[in-house]
């Protein structure tokens, strides 16, 4: 007999669960299946390893090399003695597959597998393009 009771309980649980919730309909909210709501959420980069990938935003300081950009990432740290916030920066070489970045662009880079001796970051996207000065282009004869 005791073995039959858990079977009855497990049979009833799937019948009680439903995709629609009547409380939301009463409040005037649309009742959509969970799969329809999940389709509206933009995809997020899934972590591939044990730890999630690191992403940073910085300014391109050099784009002279082929498929390589140098990005300066600034952070503010508090001085241990004077308690004033000081700017510290880190220079990172990142892989730019299509050579689409220029100096002054604000970019987002993510950590990746090593591409070369110094490059273990790759370009994720350009946040803001650098402003071209019209005086520079007008001064050329």
Whole-model pTM: value is 0.57
* pLDDT tens figures, 91-132: 999 999 999 999 999 999 999 999 999 999 999 999 999 988
Q: Which helix (H) or strand (E) holds 97?
A: none
Over residues 44-97, the pLDDT tens digits come to 455 555 456 899 999 999 999 999 999 999 999 999 999 999 999 999 999 999
Overall domain count for the chain: 1
Residue 7 lies in a domain: no
Provide the residue count of the chain: 141
- Asked whether residue 2 is assigned to any structural domain, the reply reads no
Distance CA 17, CA 85 (A): 54
What per-residue confidence (pLDDT) applies to 54? 92
Better-predicted residue by pLDDT, 64 or 33: 64
Whichever domain contains 118, its CATH number is 2.40.50.140
């Amino acid at each position: 007999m005791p073995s039959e009771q858990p079977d009855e309980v497990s049979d009833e649980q799937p019948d009680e669960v439903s995709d629609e919730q009547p409380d939301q309909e009463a409040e005037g909210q649309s009742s959509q299946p969970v799969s329809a709501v999940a389709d509206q959420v933009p995809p997020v980069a899934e972590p591939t390893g044990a730890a999630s990938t690191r992403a940073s935003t910085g300014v391109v300081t050099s784009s002279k090399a082929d498929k390589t950009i140098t990005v300066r990432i600034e952070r503010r740290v508090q001085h241990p003695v004077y308690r004033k916030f000081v700017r510290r920066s880190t220079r990172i070489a990142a892989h730019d597959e299509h050579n689409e970045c220029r100096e002054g662009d604000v970019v987002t880079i993510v950590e990746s597998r090593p591409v070369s001796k110094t490059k273990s970051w790759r370009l994720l996207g350009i946040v803001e393009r650098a402003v071209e000065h019209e005086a520079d282009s007008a001064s050329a004869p």
